[in-house]
């Protein structure tokens, strides 16, 4: 099955790194590791083929300062998230 996630980030410079399972939770991994980024909303859309339906979908953003994990909202078969 395909899982589509659309994430709005607060700054540019975000790269998609892949996904992983944590039990029945699917985590989409992104990173922003440089020193300077443009302060503009940046949207990323990722679609992955996975072997089962997730109970929940999360987004992880790694940065030089650490990282954040935030949830998604499912609408019309896709998952949406916004960087807090």
pLDDT at residue 37 in the model: 64
pTM reported for the whole predicted model: 0.92
Residues in the chain: 84
% of the chain residues with pLDDT over 70: 96
With tokens 């099955």, the residue in question is 1
Query: Residue 65's pLDDT band (boundaries 50, 70, 90)?
Result: confident
For residues 25-48, average pLDDT: 88
| DSSP letters for 2-45 | EEEEEEEESSS--EEEEEEEETTEEEEEEEE-SS----S-EEEE
d(CA 83, CA 81) in angstroms, rounded, equals 7
């Amino acid at each position: 099955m395909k899982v589509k996630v659309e994430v709005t980030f607060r700054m540019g410079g975000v790269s998609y790194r892949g996904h992983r399972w944590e039990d029945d939770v699917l985590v989409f991994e992104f990173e922003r590791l440089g020193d300077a980024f443009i302060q503009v909303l940046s949207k990323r859309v990722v679609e992955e083929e996975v072997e089962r339906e997730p109970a929940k979908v999360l987004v992880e953003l790694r940065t030089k300062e650490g990282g954040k994990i935030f949830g998604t909202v499912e609408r019309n078969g896709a998952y949406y998230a916004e960087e807090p």
